[in-house]
Structure 1
Amino acid sequence: MNRRKFFKNGSLFAIGSTFLNPFEGIAKELDFDTLKKNKKAKNIIVIVSDGMSHGTLNMADLYLNRKTGQGSNWLQLYKDNKVSRALMDMSSASSIVTDSAAASSSWGSGFRVKNGSLNIGVNGEEYLPIWQKFKKAGKMAGCVTTVPITHATPAGFCIASKSRNSQDSIAEMYLDLKFDVMMGGGNNYFASDSRKDKRDLYQEFLSKGFAVVKNKKEMFSCDNSKPILGVFYNDGLPYSKDRESSKELIEAIPTLAEMTKCAIDKMKHHPNGFVLQVEAGKVDWAAHGNDIAGLLYDQVAHDEAVKIAIDFAEKDKNTLVIITTDHGNANPGIIYGKDANDNFDSIHNYRQTNEWILNGIGQETRVSQMIERIEYANKTIIKEDDAKEILNFYSNIKLEEGLYNPRHLPFKVLADIQKKYNSVGWISMDHSADYSELAMYGPGSDLLKPFIKNTDLHYLMLKAAEIENNF
């Protein structure tokens, strides 16, 4: 295709006579002779750290720098001037503070939708998600995540649903759509003994020609000629820090980087290219729990996946890598004080997350046992009064419905106690209206402006790959 003609004719954005092209004026501003020299994006990899506030990105870089002498792969791309960089307004149709479903749908559909919905417009319109568009254009498509594969962020690239909570139905939609790689957690939505309708979706995926894998060994040895469904845990995958502390989990559960490499290896030889969404979903869950070990080590796991994608793209020369987050959450940061350096460095010694600590406590736990458990997990000895404050919450704990912390465990109390020793503070336990950090490497990164709306990213991906939006 003549690239000059493609960008000039504007047919990419011909959705309707009333649609406003979000890139209006780009053709006039760019030097087309330069643009012609750049290859189109044959492949696109979108890497999302769900719920990553700026402070989370910052702390991961500081943590790695102080531990290893080298910072994060993400910020090294900035230091080496290898990427285009922008801020992105992530507002949804219903709020300046988005949830993950509306955020992912803005990229998936090119329209802002209400919080809680997936690619369903404010008046009930059903939009065709972007991974389906790429599939129709002949590319392979997949998602890998550390939360259920049916969760909001991967679903926003793949399907349309009135509710993000309809995860049983979303699993069924994946069966019909037959994406090439789908890996993460979410056994509860595929296994017959967990689903309300008792359908065995694993068997149904097998009957449709999928390779179904349930542990790391099976993932690496599976038949690459078949589409892959990999489900490695009942709900979200274990936090990276808890996984690192368990030989059993290390052997059974792949890291995000390992899933990313497997997905790329599966799709990289396809003649029409591939699109892949990679999500560090439990960064968001950790932020909801003010869980510094969960947050920091899963952000580092995200950063390892960034390296896998960039290393591939540097050799391939035809791959656009997009690195971003869908919203802020809890906005953590290192608090000023004379012991801030040493306190923050103490996190290097953490063995377990706060989720591990609090889920191992019950009404029968004694104060001395509480102190011993935190000393084991954090190498920190807390005071008796602090231990008693935590234990007071266990006298009347009841299981309730909810996405996060349904038992109402004292995550905030524990985080406030830890702040005395690690100097990490949090502003809340929920999403925030941060402008998202966005970086792009490879063909198509020239299209990125310094500040964009979330919906612009949908059209930028189509434009970078020279896929016309006429589905």
Structure 2
Amino acid sequence: MKTKLVRSICLLLAICMAFGGLPYAAKAANGPKNVILLIGDGMGLGQMEIASLFEHGKEGRLFLQTLPYTALVKTYSANNNVTDSAAGGTAIAIGKKTNNGMIGMTKDGKDSPSILDVFKANGNKTAIVSTNSVTDATPASFTASVKDRWADQEEIARQQLKNNVDVIMGGGAMYFGKNRELIEEYKNRGYTFVTSDNELASSNGDKILGLFASKHLSFKQDRKELKSTEPTLTEMAGKTIDTLAKGNNGFFAVIEGARIDHAAHSTDIPSIWKETIEFDEAVKYCVEWAQKRKDTLVIVVADHETMGISVTEPMDIKALKNIQITPELMAQKLTRAANTKDYTTESIMELFQKYANIKLTNEELAQFKERIKKQDGSIYPEQKVGREIGRIIASHYHAGILDGTTQQFSRTTGGHTGNMIALFAFGKGAERFHGVIDNTDISKIIANMKGYDFGN
């Protein structure tokens, strides 16, 4: 378990300090004091182009695309040409490849300290922030070690407490004990516990546990209808930076826009747009904070690309922008026939007409009914209906997406691709990121700038 490994690092540091040397001490005095790593889950070039085109027009750019240093990043995992979020996040976090499904450890099951662990061991403050569960693959890769990302989420929450992460924000309250008893353990360890945007805004503790949803946070597209009290990613990022900056030794923060990936899995083009823009706003906030000082590095990257999303010539942008709620929420509005699990034809036809302005053909209706009956090894079977709704909408309006058969046979990723992803950097040390690199290089470059050696 990573907790034991981190404790060993801290003990080694204490011994070395007593004898005048620190193996992880900053040999490079010119390294950044603070590092903010923003991860757009599943955010490939196509997702960025969708967001830029929908928000700013064909000549516009996302804010993150204006950052001065860029690189392309290869993302394959140890056992697959295409990484899942667990192996992708782990590669960034520990600087080593692992198998799909494994978190915070090497492919042979050995715990390995993450770059966040090493910052913590050197007296820096640390944080993980996500619009997904805080125990999901990306935040977990930096804060825990488990062999199965799906089976061990409560264990991940316990490891995050033991590893003394200063700020933890996102969803995932359901993984903090059957009766939320783990939350009480966090509070007993000095964490301020918050559950809404207003509570977050008024909090001022040195440690914060913010759990704003049972699982993942709501899509931006649905928050108005759901009357959400969840904070935005920018609000979480702002409070995180304010909290960590109280310390004198610097900090390392991971901030994830997770639902870009969820939207892409559902081929939900409007939500790809909205979630990427929300992520871009958080990037802008962090960069503008860093611009006021000369000691902070901001890195923006994805963990992988999802569903081969692309802009096509016939894509009906106007129609897609007019869709007001997500396929995930649409699925909840379908009606089941009496004494059966099947959805009624009337509710299916009405849903597509009302929310997507699509009149289904008999062939499309039959295909939809057939596909939602099959639980064919999907990564998120509970999201299957929404994904099929999204597929019909995206196909009807000619968005570029992977076909359903390819997604069906993507057993460990649910539709990821092996396309290289983009990295953008700003601030102290940003010039170190250029050319084509591997995802395992990211933490190595950061560690090298700080003079930290964590086994790579």
Question: Under a length normalisation based on structure 1, what TM-score does the superposition of the two structures give?
Answer: 0.82
* Equivalence for 2:391: 415
For 1:417 and 1:439, locate their aligned partners in 2 and report how far apart those are by CA, in whole Å: 32
Q: Is the 8 A contact 1:106 1:455 kept in 2?
A: yes
Verify: 1:42 aligned to 2:33, yes or no: yes
Verify: 1:66 aligned to 2:46, yes or no: no
For 1:110 and 1:40, locate their aligned partners in 2 and report how far apart those are by CA, in whole Å: 18
Verify: 1:182 aligned to 2:159, yes or no: no
Moved more, 86-95 or 401-410: 401-410
Moved more, 460-469 or 320-329: 460-469
Aligned length: 417
Selected match of 1:110 from 59, 75, 95: 95
For 2:346 and 2:108, locate their aligned partners in 1 and report how far apart those are by CA, in whole Å: 57
Give, in angstroms, the shift of residue 13 of structure 1: 9.9
Q: Is the 8 A contact 1:367 1:391 kept in 2?
A: no
* Equivalence for 1:209: 190
For 1:152 and 1:126, locate their aligned partners in 2 and report how far apart those are by CA, in whole Å: 16
Give, in angstroms, the shift of residue 40 of structure 1: 2.5
* Equivalence for 1:228: 208
For 1:344 and 1:50, locate their aligned partners in 2 and report how far apart those are by CA, in whole Å: 23
Selected match of 2:47 from 33, 56, 60: 56
For 1:413 and 1:186, locate their aligned partners in 2 and report how far apart those are by CA, in whole Å: 25
Give, in angstroms, the shift of residue 381 of structure 1: 3.8
Give, in angstroms, the shift of residue 425 of structure 1: 2.4
Give, in angstroms, the shift of residue 286 of structure 1: 1.7
**Cα deviation per residue 1:392-451 (whole Å; 9 max; x = unaligned)?**
3499577x986413363263464234433x331211440110111111111111212311
Verify: 1:427 aligned to 2:405, yes or no: no
Give, in angstroms, the shift of residue 333 of structure 1: 1.6
Selected match of 1:295 from 267, 272, 292: 272
For 1:392 and 1:302, locate their aligned partners in 2 and report how far apart those are by CA, in whole Å: 34
Give, in angstroms, the shift of residue 212 of structure 1: 0.8
What does 1:370-409 align with in structure 2 at a 5 Å threshold?
A: 370-378=348-356, 380-383=357-360, 385=362, 388-389=365-366, 392-393=369-370, 396=373, 403-406=379-382, 408-409=384-385
**Cα deviation per residue 1:275-313 (whole Å; 9 max; x = unaligned)?**
110111111122222222332211111111111111111
Verify: 1:255 aligned to 2:223, yes or no: no
The one-letter code matched in structure 1 to 2:211 is V
For 1:376 and 1:317, locate their aligned partners in 2 and report how far apart those are by CA, in whole Å: 52
Verify: 1:436 aligned to 2:414, yes or no: no
- SS of residue in 2 equivalent to 1:162: coil
Give, in angstroms, the shift of residue 90 of structure 1: 1.1
What is the RMSD computed on CA atoms of the aligned residues? 2.7
For 1:386 and 1:366, locate their aligned partners in 2 and report how far apart those are by CA, in whole Å: 16
The one-letter code matched in structure 2 to 1:53 is G
What does 1:303-342 align with in structure 2 at a 5 Å threshold?
A: 303-337=280-314, 340=315
Q: Is the 8 A contact 1:86 1:450 kept in 2?
A: yes
Q: Is the 8 A contact 1:362 1:394 kept in 2?
A: no
* Equivalence for 1:8: none
The one-letter code matched in structure 2 to 1:351 is Q
**Cα deviation per residue 1:120-169 (whole Å; 9 max; x = unaligned)?**
22333211111111011111000110110001101111222222121010
Selected match of 1:132 from 117, 142, 154: 117
Verify: 1:269 aligned to 2:255, yes or no: no
Pair 1:353–1:386, CA change in 2 (3 A):
farther
- SS of residue in 1 equivalent to 2:382: coil
Selected match of 2:159 from 170, 173, 176: 173
Question: Under a length normalisation based on structure 2, what TM-score does the superposition of the two structures give?
Answer: 0.84
Which consecutive residues of structure 1, in runs of 5 or more, have no partner in the other structure? 1-10, 15-34, 194-198
**Cα deviation per residue 1:354-391 (whole Å; 9 max; x = unaligned)?**
1111232132365454344334433x242453773376
The one-letter code matched in structure 1 to 2:34 is N
Pair 1:385–1:12, CA change in 2 (3 A):
farther
Pair 1:334–1:12, CA change in 2 (3 A):
farther
- The sequence identity of aligned pairs, in percent, is 27
Moved more, 53-62 or 156-165: 156-165
- SS of residue in 2 equivalent to 1:336: coil
Which consecutive residues of structure 2, in runs of 5 or more, have no partner in the other structure? 1-21, 338-342, 408-414
* Equivalence for 1:239: 219
Give, in angstroms, the shift of residue 73 of structure 1: 1.1
